[in-house]
Structure 1
Amino acid sequence: MKLDILAIGVHPDDVELGCSGTIIKEIKRGKKAGILDLTQGELGTRGTVETRYTEAATAAAIMGVTVRENLKMRDGFFANDEAHQLLLIRAIRKYQPDIILANSLDDRHPDHGRAGKLIADSAFLAGLVKIVTEDETGQPQERWRPKYILHYIQDKLHEPDLIIDISEVFEQKMLSVEAYTTQFYQSNGDNGGPQTYISTPDFRDSVVARARMLGKRIGVKYGEGYNSQKSLGISSLDALIQVET
């Protein structure tokens, strides 16, 4: 299944918080996008593995992605080693994305930075012909390397290399976030469980404030920011011109 965009998050809800606006916007433009969750979020204080799967499926439907898959790595204990790289290499070769949206390389949660590096390393290795992998049917996979890996900004604010205008889809983005009813504050009341860093109304407010701040940087209402280890290029200056509405 060839995808234009593969968004990868170490925990279910990382993608929704970090880059769902971009995904929704690109899908509306006719792109095919999918999500790959590395873990089941089983160490999360609130909710269960089962509720996280239900919430992830609801969020995926809100975003309109073509596919969502979970690699079932161990939450908190996965490593950037050969075994985990091979899992990701198979997935990257399976979906052949042109662009990967990945966890931040440095963030408050140690899983985020470790996942960001794992994703970047695996994407490079997926392009090496001498690394041999097979698909689910036992057929050899072709090598594949995405053109770009963009690391979405998460809790820790990094100076973005790229900001994408998500103003027109911001409400839909927040609906995908709010699909995780066990994890985040709900405007109609909290669903119970121990209070966590992300379950307070202040955290939701910070998500909105971050999007407003990034949007302001490029003269729009809401934005999502990305970092890239590869220089970003454009084909002409026309790409810098924004059409005013």
Structure 2
Amino acid sequence: MEKQPYRILLIEPNIEVAGAILKWLQDKAVVTHIVHSADAKAKAGLTAWDVVITDINSPEVNDLDITLIVKKSNPNTSVLIVTEHKKVDFIISAMQNHADGLLFKPLGEKEFVAKILKLAQDSRTRRFEGKKIILAIGAHPDDVEVGCAGALAKHRAEGDSLNILTLSPGEQGGSAATRKKESQKAAKLQDAHLFLGNFIDTEISHAFTTIQFIEKIVRQVQPTHVYTHSFHDNHQDHRNTYHATITACREVPNLYCYLSPSSTVDFKPNIFINIDDFIEIKLLVIEAFSSQCNTRPYLEPDLIRATARYWGRFCNYHLAEPMEVAKGHS
């Protein structure tokens, strides 16, 4: 799988210094350069960075402020302070604020680049150590949410990252534009990144084009765990999504198949995920698909809850989502 480039925030008002750093890192990372104090504070609070390089000392914000902002937002992000201050009290303050590194001007390219690459890798190691990257795949809007929104909410509560891939806009079930908006709303409620395909509803195949499309998302996301449809399903789109996923996710160590309203009696789950604390979130997420809720009995809240209650008989009578384990290593 392709390794995603490091994402670096450079806070450097000195254009000459910034130009040198941008040149040094141009083939090694995606660098966002910020000059102004207000922008620095706003961008530093985002969680997307592998490394934040800070060299700012204004009345509004300084390097120590930036370090605090970054570490409060995401303790795993590495912070490198570039400075001319070699005073002991400044160095101690930087350490107390949990800066990951200090480099003093003038900068040398070799030392600087080596430091940045190490800090970036350290950041990623911390971020993904013990965390899971989830990719939930469905043929149509609301398939993922009906099948595993409780499990996804549980993952999110544990700090895992969520990604949803919906292959078709679901135009056979209503307005494609409306269903797209509903999918986006549901993804936002789940704090998930949404990928929308444009395969024709009812005509999804498990041919190379579908496999290749899913593979592209897998390379981008690099999931540790995948949820998808079961083979034991009456809907051809669901079965073909299963087949394409199995091939496209051949290198992913954990793959689970969720229940859908069209699952057959041959659906035989062997794990049952306790969603006691997440059933209300699941119901809220499903409500986002308002164009479907009034016409699809399987989206009615009492049936969603009753289904979870039924499968809970295999989970010490908790509310549960059933899964077939296609493969599992963690």
Shift of 1:207: 2.2
Q: For the structure 1 residues 203 and 111, does the alpha-carbon distance in structure 2 shift closer, same or farther, using more than 3 Å as the test?
A: farther
Q: Could you tell me whether the CA contact under 8 Å between 1:63 and 1:173 is conserved in 2?
A: no
Alignment counterpart, residue 254 of structure 2, candidates 134, 148, 169: 148
Matched AA of 2:142: D
Greater strand content: 2
TM-score, normalised on structure 1?
0.75
Out of 266, 277, 281, the position equivalent to 1:168 is: 277
Deviations 1:102-130 (A, max 9, x none): 01212132211111111112212xxxxxx
Aligned residue pair count: 198
Aligned position for 2:200: 74
1:112-123 paired onto structure 2 within 5 Å: 112-123=238-249
- Tell me, yes or no, if the aligned pair for 2:231 and 2:238 is still in contact at 8 Å: yes
Q: Is 1:48 matched up with 2:145? A: no
CA offset at residue 17 of structure 1? 0.1
Aligned 8 A contact 1:24 1:64 in 2: no
Q: Which residue of structure 2 lines up, in the alignment, with residue 57 of structure 1?
A: 184
Corresponding residue for 2:313? 216
Using the TM superposition, give the Cα deviation of residue 209 of structure 1 relative to its aligned residue in structure 2, in angstroms.
1.4
Q: Counterpart of 2:197 in 1: which secondary structure? A: strand
- Equivalent position of 1:227 in the other structure: 324
Q: Describe the superposition over 1:179-217 as per-residue Cα deviations: whole angstroms up to 9, x where unpaired.
A: 1000013xxxxxxxxx4xx2x378543322111011232
Name the SS for the 1:229 alignment partner. strand
Secondary structure of the equivalent of 2:308? Answer: helix
Query: Which one of the candidate residues 231, 235, 239 is aligned to 1:105?
Result: 231
Counterpart AA for 2:278 = V
8 Å contact 2:298–2:304 — kept in the other structure?
no
Say which of 189, 197, 206 aligns to 2:303.
206
- The structure-2 alpha-carbon separation of the partners of 1:220 and 1:26, relative to structure 1 and needing over 3 Å to count, comes to farther
1:14-72 deviation digits (Å, cap 9, x = unpaired): 0110001010111111001110101110111xx3111111111111122121x101121
Alpha-carbon distance in structure 2 between the residues aligned to 1:14 and 1:170: 16
Structure-2 separation of matches of 1:201 and 1:27: 25
User: CA offset at residue 78 of structure 1?
Assistant: 2.1
Q: Percent identity?
A: 27
- Residue identity in the other structure for 2:292: Q
Cα distance between partner residues in 1 of 2:319 and 2:200: 34
SS of alignment partner, residue 77 of structure 1:
coil
3-state DSSP class of the match of 2:141? coil
Residue 84 in structure 1 maps to residue 210 in structure 2 = yes
Asked if the contact 1:21–1:169 (Cα under 8 Å) also holds between the matched residues in 2, the reply is yes
Please state if 1:37 is matched with 2:166.
Answer: yes
Unaligned stretches of 5+ residues in structure 1: 125-144, 186-194, 235-245
Contact 1:184-1:204 within 8 A present in 2 as well: no
* 1:159 CA drift (Å): 2.2
CA RMSD of aligned residues (A): 2.0
The amino acid of 1:8's aligned partner reads I
Q: Work out the CA distance in 1 between the residues paired with 2:195 and 2:165.
A: 5
More divergent stretch after superposition (156-165 vs 97-106): 156-165
Say which structure, 1 or 2, has more relative contact order (CA 8 Å, 6+ apart): 1
Question: Quick one: structure 1 residues 175 and 54, their matched pair in 2 at CA, closer, same or farther if it must change by over 3 Å?
Answer: same
**Is residue 101–residue 150 contact of structure 1 (8 Å, CA) maintained in 2?**
yes
Write the letter of the residue equivalent to 1:212.
R
- Once the two structures are TM-superposed, the CA of residue 98 in structure 1 deviates from its matched residue by 0.4
Aligned to 1:133: none
**For residue 95 of structure 1, what is the amino acid of its counterpart?**
V
Decide which structure has greater helix share. Answer: 2
Relative distance call for 1:201 and 1:36 in structure 2 (3 A) is: closer
Gaps (5+ residues) in structure 2?
A: 5-127
1:161 is displaced (CA, Å) by: 1.2
Letter paired with 1:174: L
Asked which structure has the greater CA Rg, the reply is 2
Q: Which residue of 2 aligns with 1:136?
A: none
Task: Please give the TM-score of this superposition, normalised by the length of structure 2.
Answer: 0.57
